[in-house]
Structure 1
């Protein structure tokens, strides 16, 4: 079938969980036999290097504002209705498709929306300004209303976790009968164990017996990086040779750098900044444990699955999608809560070998059994087929 999708950005230009999912999802749908046309935004002058049918609708224009992006998505979607003739419209970022009204989509074409998270809530949680509570609540309400314009015209939803299903029903009032839970996946051919892990660790400056912890997150408050750094003070006192590499960038970087220096952790904790996709895989492969200290709005836990696919166990907070993934392996892999004390205690227990940690082989096997793109493409196709059948009566 012809699938018209809209995303947010492109992974080779803008790192992020949604962008990674959209790229891998588009490839999986193509391999499953679908013809897909996707629209994304990339910075002016950026080149999208892919053999997938993905178009940067920014082109040479400098589209910085949301309103301009909405108009651009509306324009290209309207054009695609005639040139591409889609069987299903599949938006992945509701905010950009606000102006794609139902009368723009032929009545026989279902709208199946991927819900990757509450954009309104995420932007409010990440705010660092001093706006009053009333102003913040007003902004949140407006953003939610904009998102709901897309949700109200959606026939069916796909979410990656029970956690996001509950947010979609409780926060946005979506009928649970419209929601399909299809967990995400990982490119297990890219994210795989290294054939010579010790050699890789040597290249990264890590000795064979030196514990290496890894965390990849956008440096914003809700990711819990500050609590992880505070927790590392206790860990380093017990294990002075431990190293923690934190990949990713964001508005809190300067503050976290200062915190590391303040706590005297500069020899043990390193902020890597933004890293390439190739470097990301290498750090997963080299690490003894990956850490996910997210405090809220962790809808699936893509980094958890990526790490497991490389054979590296994961410790995480007992929230959202992280909890759902780790619970399948063992509850011992979760911190008691998101405090720095709980984070440090679990890490110390693991380094002391006083807490369960699955083998690298078991981590990889779990992903191959549960989180492959072939399984996702098949499940999504079933949803599309059902919704297309429901709208057949509208076809003239």
Structure 2
């Protein structure tokens, strides 16, 4: 099957959950025997990108929103007659909104991966409702609605995002298919020697490491986790919170940790290479996912579990769905700093046991593999293509 797919940016230049999913998903679909033409923005060098990944001319850094939208529209129109897609599979509404039926043959279905409410995420992260922000929100919501009106089917990674599609965008339930995300289990795997990896990372003997990798933006709840660490550290000085990632809140979060007297107890690493990310997952005693809202799947949750490291998380969205099916006690009571502190202190005091590394890994291999995802997505594509062709033949 020929699949035309559009994402955001290439993962090695622009880290993030959507870009990681898009890169691994595209590879899995190719390994399943499909021919892909995958379009992403032309930001920076992409020496690691496979041959099927194309940088869209005129969509790089500094390009305005509408110019990027038009650039993707032109790129899709340049497909020519030598390679005709069987399905169009966008992963980001902005770059799909100007792709109307005039750009695609009538019998080609559009199956959209819905990775979250773009407009709502922006509003939450902006933390405010000024006139300018409200106008941006309305523009983004209009762009999303325009793209989704043309879609035949939708794929979501969690029940939470299926509900948002139905409630906020009016998409009928019968057009939504839930296929959870997956993890590259060859890259994210347990260390042969945890002790050796911890030594390489400079982790001291007796330290209990909590690892959190997130974009440092409002909805990720990092500020609440840092506040929780103030209470944890008072009783458990051996606890160390390592925060990986970057974002608009970094300086604010660093200041918060300093004010709470957590120097040496909360460490910010910035963005990590793929190799270091895996090592921190392997070395940690547990990972923490403190997201306050709009957690669509929780890719970092399955990445950590694949490395054998248990995860404590807030009972929101995809994180809840993953952990409830594994070990419900890993969920905080709510997303407050107090709830996080209670659960972390119970674990550190030995009053609550975390799952074994073997069971963490087993849970992922049984449920979150790319071969399973590729097979289920292919079934959706084939069924939607057949339905579109029947309608086109009338």
**Scaled by the length of structure 1, what TM-score is found?**
0.96
Post-superposition shift, 1:50?
2.5
Distance 2:195 2:346 in 1: 24
Is residue 213 from structure 1 mapped to residue 210 from structure 2 by the alignment? yes
Q: Which residue of 2 aligns with 1:261?
A: 258
Q: Which position in structure 1 is the counterpart of 2:34? A: 34
Gaps in structure 2 of 5+ consecutive residues? none
* Residue 22 (structure 2) pairs with residue 22 (structure 1): yes
Q: Are residues 1:161 and 2:158 paired? A: yes
Specify the alignment match of 1:6 in structure 2.
6
In structure 2, what is the equivalent of residue 109 of structure 1?
A: 108
Question: Within 2, Cα distance between the matches of 1:258 and 1:295?
Answer: 20
> Per-residue deviation at 1:52?
4.2
Return the alpha-carbon distance in structure 2 between the equivalents of residues 230 and 357 of structure 1.
22
Shift in Å at residue 62 of structure 1?
Answer: 5.1
Matched, 1:270 2:267: yes
Corresponding residue for residue 228 of structure 2: 231
How many residues are matched? 393
Flag the 1:69–1:169 CA change in 2: closer, same or farther, 3 A. same
CA RMSD of aligned residues (A): 1.6
- Aligned position for 2:339: 342
Query: What is the match of residue 98 of structure 1?
Result: 97
Cα deviation, residue 22, structure 1 = 0.3
- Between the aligned partners of 1:341 and 1:333, the Cα distance in structure 2 is 15
- Name the SS of the counterpart of 2:126 in structure 1: coil
**Conserved in 1, the CA contact under 8 Å of 2:111 and 2:152?**
yes
Structure 1 gaps of 5+ residues are none
- 2:302 pairs with 1:305: yes
Post-superposition offset of 1:137:
4.0
Aligned to 2:145: 148
Moved more, 372-381 or 52-61: 52-61
Q: CA deviation at 1:64?
A: 2.1
8 Å CA contact 2:185–2:369 kept in 1: the answer is yes
Structure 1 residue 63: deviation in Å? 5.1
Q: Post-superposition shift, 1:102? A: 1.6
Compared CA separation, residues 319 and 18, structure 1 to 2 (3 A):
same
**Structure 2 length-normalised TM:** 0.97
CA contact (8 A) 1:13 1:42 kept: no
Task: Quote how far apart the aligned CAs of 1:206 are.
Answer: 1.2
- Partners of 1:295 and 1:338 within 8 A in 2: yes
Q: Is the 8 A contact 2:42 2:59 kept in 1?
A: no
| Cα displacement string for residues 352-374 of structure 1 (whole angstroms, at most 9, x for unaligned residues) | 12123110000000000000000
Once residues 318 and 275 of structure 1 are traced to their aligned partners in structure 2, the CA distance between those partners, rounded to angstroms, is 26
The within-5 A match list for 1:130-145 is: 131-132=129-130, 136-145=133-142
Q: Deviations over 1:92-144 (max 9, x none)?
A: 0011111101221111100000000000001111104x653x65444323321
